[in-house]
Amino acid sequence: MKEVAARAGVALKTVSRVVNEEPNVSPELTAKVQAAIKELNYTPNESARMLRRGRTGTIAVVIRDIGDPFFASLGRAVEMWARGSGSVVMIGLTDEDPERERDVCLEFVARRPDALIMAPIGETQEYLAPHVDAGMAVVTIDRPAHGIEADAVLADNAGGIDQAIDHLVRQGHRRIAYLGDDERIFTARERVVAYRAAMARHRIDVDEDLVHLSEPTTEGIGITLSAVLDRPEPATAILSANNMTTAEVLRGLAGRRDQVALVSFDDLALGDLLSPGLTAVAQSADVMARTAIQLMTERLPEPHRPSRTVRVPVKLTIRGSGEIPPPA
């Protein structure tokens, strides 16, 4: 800044005012300072500027997998907001590993981000308590935190499962297989509980042989599909409880997609181009991200206010796969 002041022939304070876009600097002096900045390739120290304001201008995002379409959309939405607000985003991946979650979060908070947006997987996030007490805003998305005071943005998991089961029952199905994720994941637990409750509401006994909860791998889903479809009393419909499982189910059903009804919780980007089109309970990553950002910006000036949990509605999109009737 001293070099800029000397080159422009102005006081150091004038350079500071121009750089910080403060008022009361004449257009002539502003032009001189800007010309000197350009000639010297001067770059303001954003870290120092932010720290003087009590902020670092960084947002940490910790999610499961950037390859998951839902979390990819979430990351993009936060990045777009940060771009418009002058903030920088750091993104870390947990791969659904609680130890990895802890390591990534602690690495990030050591860099003093203004806020942390995360999709928790560990049983507790108590390791973040000292940082929350110090005023760091934490917002969880898709799953709640445990052991700390944090805002949360969650999908209406029970409502979405209810819509799916109601729709399949209206098509005449009673043997509805449920394929979900590992039950240690919050959304997986909520959705399978909702499935059982929805079946009971329709007075349909749950056949436990049609309920499978595991990591969605090609081999695993292939075995599961065989278990629910290649049996004396096969399932006539499948409720797939997340987009990664749905992708593997579609792969496994190749050649007989028009024989088994399928409803997915989570939509797929090209779901409308399939034949038949994918009937899905759609949750909006953009809406959830915007809600998380709103909670974050509300918490920054009031770090110790009571936490809030917001449930985001979901919507059943009918395209054909969920309308296949059971065999006569």
Share of the chain above pLDDT 70, in %: 96
- Residue 326: name the closest of 255, 259, 270 by CA: 259
Q: Please report which helix (H) or strand (E) contains residue 287, including its range.
A: helix 285-299
**Residues of the chain under the 50 pLDDT cut:** 51
Check residue 263 and give its pLDDT: 98
Could you report the per-residue pLDDT of 261-287, keeping only the tens digit for each? Answer: 999 999 998 899 999 999 999 998 889
> Is 87 in a helix, a strand, or coil?
coil
Could you report the per-residue pLDDT of 229-263, keeping only the tens digit for each? Answer: 999 999 999 999 999 999 999 999 988 899 999 99
Check residue 228 and give its pLDDT: 94
Got the DSSP string for 212-254?
EES---HHHHHHHHHHHHSSSS--SEEEE-SHHHHHHHHHHTT
CB environment 237-262: b (16+ within 10 A), e (fewer) = bbbbbbbbbbbbbbebbeeebeebbb
Place of tokens 């876009």: 21
Check residue 49 and give its pLDDT: 52
- Residue 88: name the closest of 119, 55, 110 by CA: 55
Would strands 309-312 and 137-141 be described as parallel, antiparallel, or unpaired? unpaired
Asked whether 161 and 172 are in contact (CB, 8 A), the reply is no
Check residue 285 and give its pLDDT: 86
Rounded distance, CA 191 to CA 172, Å? 22
Check residue 15 and give its pLDDT: 86
Rounded distance, CA 165 to CA 264, Å? 11
* Amino acid code (one letter) for 261: A
CB environment 113-133: b (16+ within 10 A), e (fewer) = bbbbbbbbbbeebebbeebbe
